[in-house]
Structures are given as structure tokens and as C-alpha cells.
Amino acid sequence: MENKILMNTKQVAEFLDINEKMVYSLINEKGLPATKITGKWLFPKHLVEQWLENSTINFPRYPNPLPPYHGLLIISGSNDILLDRTLSLYNKVHSGHCAVFGNMGSLAGLRALKDNLCHIASSHLLQEDESEYNFDFARDELGQVPAVINFCRREQGILTLHGNPRRIKGVKDLARKDIRIVNRPLGTGTRLLLDGELKKEGIKGKEINGYERELERHIDVGLDILCGNADAGPGIRAVAGLLDLDFIPLRMERFDLITIKDRFFDQGIQMFLGFLRDPAFREMAMTLSGYDLSITGEMVFPQDN
């Protein structure tokens, strides 16, 4: 917890090796992270460190660069059934090439991209204003403007048993004493969406039975419900379609592929993005419910003004 401490103005001035008066200028002009409590400025140390890193020029962007492409493409981040099947089909179609996936959640995928552990991060992080996905998170984590390409749009909601025997109508019902849920881990876009919806209803996670029990994949949440271990859980419509579960829709979201702009034209990345226009991919996607491919393969960020 050392990096979670709060610093006062004098301490942050010493930390940055500047005059205290300069601290106030950095707050107003450079966005130095700060909060005012009882008339005094306080500075979360971990946010100051992140601000300092993101403000650095001549940053050593690739201290441990990935090796040149020799047929292996690494994608890390958010779990998705269509993405899993796309990787399998891609490897079947492109002999001599291999695409692999590391399931670690959207936020961890962006951090893996920053640390040069993968070529592409998959993410569906809903921004605070709920008008966009991924852009702010990617810029904050990567310290630069990324290239963001849409993989799909998909429907997020609440999974329940077929027939919805508990008569769950929405997020508010998850706090009922007779309901037990299973959850997704922190750092996943699905958990972020659920927590946001709970906040709107004034519900805290500790009030929900099963809130702390987390499973790593969408399909695992569905199977847990199917086996009777939980009454409901957050997930995508595709899982409901595969397991014959009921589905209560919450939001149609954008699920993106994110890469460093300098790597965008690498052979492996371009091959995979090009595959999203292949009729075989489109035909396979049609076998799953809850997906929209209307902007699949399009560059959604950066955009022309």
C-alpha cells in the first residue's frame, strides 16, 4: 500500500524537486492529479507517479522489444467467444502462422501491450461518461496515442437459468437476499460495466451474495449458472445462446483491438486484421448470437477531426 499514500503540497514539491508555488501552476496548467479536502491540496502518490511517467518526453518506448515477426502473433486482454473461434479459424486458414491469446482482462491486456508482452490488446472498457470505449484507458496506460480497430460490437447483460426461475428483471434484483451471483474479475470490462450499473442503483457489491466469487471467462460464468452454483452473473448474449440460458440485456458495447501505432503495419497484425474481412470469418460469426459486425475491421481511433 506504499504507493497509495497521499502527499501534501510540501511533500509533492520535494518529490518533484520544485518550489511549492510551482505545484499550484502544475495543477492548473498541466493537470497534476490533486484533490482538495478541508481547504488543503492532497496528491495521491501513485497518480502523481503515473502523471510524471505520461508527461515524460523521449520515453524509452521499447526497453524490451518484441522480436521481429516470425509467424507468431500474441493477443492479450479481454475474453470473447467470437475472438476465441476467430483465432482457431485463423490458425487453420493460415498455415505456417500462429495467433495465440492470453486471457487477463481488458486493463491487464493494455498493460501487457505497454510492457511489450503482446502485439495486440483486446479491450471493452467503458469510459466514465459512457459515450466511448477504450480510448482514455489506452492513452493513460500506453502514454501515447494508440491505434484502435473494432473487432465487433456485442451485447452485454445478465445471464440466468432458462426460464428465469428467480424472476430477475435487472441489476437491482441482484441485491435480493434470495439471489446468489457469480462475478468477473476486477480489471475486466464486464466487471466495470456491472459495477457502474450497481452504482446507478445505489447498490454496493458487499450487499450481493456471491459478488466476490470471480471466474475468468464468460463461458465459465454461464456453466456455473447452468450447474446451479449461482442464479445469475454478468456476461454476453453469445453464452446464453450456446448454453440455452436466459439473458437480460444491459448494453450493446464496442469490443476493440488495440496496438501501438508504430507496430500497426507489422506483418502479423496486418494479416490478422485482414482476416476480419474474410468471408469465412463472417460466416463463422453468424453462428453466434449477440454480435454486430457492422464496423468490424474499421479504425475507430485515431479519427480525423
Q: What is the CATH number of the domain that holds 77?
A: 3.40.190.290
Both 270 and 234 in one domain: the answer is: yes
> Is the peptide bond preceding residue 302 cis, with omega within 30 degrees of 0?
yes
List per-block mean pLDDT (blocks of 10 residues) for the chain, which spans 305 residues: 73 90 83 85 86 65 72 97 98 96 96 95 94 91 91 98 98 97 96 96 95 96 97 98 98 97 93 97 97 97 57
Domain CATH for 24 = 1.10.1660
| pLDDT confidence of residue 1 | 38
Q: What is the pLDDT of residue 2?
A: 44
**Separation CA 186–CA 49 (nearest Å):** 22
Question: What phi, psi does 120 have (nearest 5°)?
Answer: -135, 140
Same domain, 118 and 261: yes
- The per-residue pLDDT for 48 is 86
What is the model's pLDDT at position 4? 66
In a domain, 59, yes or no: no
Contact between 166 and 178 (Cβ < 8 Å): yes
Question: Which of 198, 223, 201 lies closest to 211, judged by CA?
Answer: 198
**What is the extent of the structural domain holding 103?**
67-305
| pLDDT of the residue at 60 | 52
Looking at the structure, tell me whether residues 138 and 7 fall in a common domain: no
The answer to whether residues 41 and 140 belong to one domain is no
- Distances from the Cα of 35 to the Cα of 4, 31, 32, angstroms: 14, 11, 10
Q: Which residues of 85-100 are buried (b: 16+ CB within 10 A; e: fewer)?
A: bbbebbeeebeebebe
Is residue 230 in some structural domain? Answer: yes
Let me know whether 143 and 8 are in one domain.
Answer: no
175 and 148 assigned to the same domain? yes
Q: What is the pTM of this model?
A: 0.79
Question: 38 with 134, same domain?
Answer: no
Q: Classify 109 as helix, strand or coil.
A: helix
CA dist 290 and 106 (Å) reads 20
Alpha carbons 151 and 269: distance in angstroms, whole number: 13
Q: Which residues contact 300 (CB under 8 A, 6 or more apart)?
A: 148, 149, 150, 254, 256
Residue 60 falls inside a structural domain = no
Q: Please tell me whether residues 187 and 209 are part of one structural domain.
A: yes
Of 54, 75, 94, the position where a domain reaches its end is: 54
Query: Is there a domain that residue 193 lies in?
Result: yes
- Whether 196 and 104 share a structural domain: yes
Q: What is the pLDDT of residue 26?
A: 87
Q: Tell me the C-alpha distance between 273 and 103, whole Å.
A: 19
pLDDT value of residue 305: 42
Is residue 62 situated within a structural domain? no
Same domain? For 49 and 73 the reply is: no
